[in-house]
Every structure is written in C-alpha cells, then in structure tokens.
Amino acid sequence: MRALPLALTLVLLAGGAANAAELLKPGDPFPAWELTDHTGAVVTSASLAGTTYLLWYYPKALTPGCTREGCELRDNFEAFQAKGVAILGASFDDPQDNAKFVAEHRFPFRLLSDTDRTLAVQVGAADSPRRVWARRISYLVGGDGKVLKAYNNVNPSEHAGQVLADLEAMGR
C-alpha cells in the first residue's frame, strides 16, 4: 500500500475523514436553520414548515460524485414532487459556486451554502467548523420538522431511488 502525500494527509486530518458526529435519528427534531441559496436568497427551516424535504449534503460542487448524485435527484425530481417532497442540496461551497453547479446541470432545486458549517456540525455532516468537505449524508425531514429518515454514507448513483423507495414504504 502506497503512503499518502504529506499535504493530502494533513488535509484529511484537518477534516476530510474520521470521527463523524452522530446522525440524528427518526423522530428527532431537525435543528432550525437559515442558509443562503445559489441565488443569494435566504432559506429557512421555518419557511419549509408543513413541507417534507430531503436535505442532501454533498462534499463539493462540480465534482464527479456530487454531480452524479445531483443529476440522479434532478432526473427523479418529478417523482419527488408527486410525493410532495422538496429537494435541497447543501455544501460548504459559496453561493456563486453552487450557482455554477445549478446552471451547468440544470438542477430544478435549490443548493444551499453552509459556509460556516453550523448546521453541518449539528446534523453530522461535519465534525467541526474546520472540516474541509461535508460528509455525503442526507435527511428526509417531515412537515412537522422531525427527521423521518437519516442516510449515512450515501451512494450517489442510488440515493434518489433509495429515498423514493423509503417514501413509498412510508405510504407517501
């Protein structure tokens, strides 16, 4: 096995891998949040009251795995809409980078910037505000603000189908 270059090792130690915070569990209240989307508009959990939503954290805009996951969600967007589920992506990218991501892949949903990582730390997408990239996790949050399902170590190619199957199993 080949050793990692020192620079990459330091990045990983600074926040790329390791000791992930515990995920919220079904029934737990999802923390209140306020984040800026890719258009510069502020989006809040309060503005989504009564709406079921999928909040998917992705590591970095315009990278292969994140693009695959975003495109899978985009390609299944109508199925999510039919079930009354809004889709929101979140990363540590700034709104401008997220805007490029949306434009390049024609995403019909908002991408949120959690640049200070406050929500990410609360929900287990980051261990600390120093983490370089978000963990690839998602939450399905009910209209009452409680977690319906938490997804850890998401497979970008299968996530949309997995969430839709879970919604079906929930009778939604």
Q: How confident is the model at residue 153 (pLDDT cuts 50, 70, 90)?
A: confident
Is residue 66 among the annotated active site residues?
yes
Binned at pLDDT 50, 70 and 90, residue 21 comes out as low
Position with higher pLDDT, 36 vs 13: 36
If you write DSSP's letter for every residue of 54-118 in order, what string do you get? EEEE-S-TTSHHHHHHHHHHHHTHHHHHHTTEEEEEEESS-HHHHHHHHHHHT-SSEEEE-TT-H
Assess contact for 93 and 113: CB atoms under 8 A. yes
* pLDDT of 8 over the 80 cut: no
**Binning pLDDT at 50, 70 and 90, where does residue 22 land?**
confident
Q: Express each pLDDT in 108-122 by its tens digit.
A: 999 999 999 999 999
Neighbours of 86 (CB within 10 A): 15
What is the per-residue pLDDT across 76-112, written as a single tens digit (0 to 9) for each? Answer: 999 999 999 999 999 999 999 999 999 999 999 999 9
**Whether the predicted pLDDT of 126 surpasses 90:** yes
Per annotation, catalytic residue among 66, 120, 134, 164: 66
User: Which domains does the chain show, CATH number per domain?
Assistant: 31-154 (3.40.30.10)
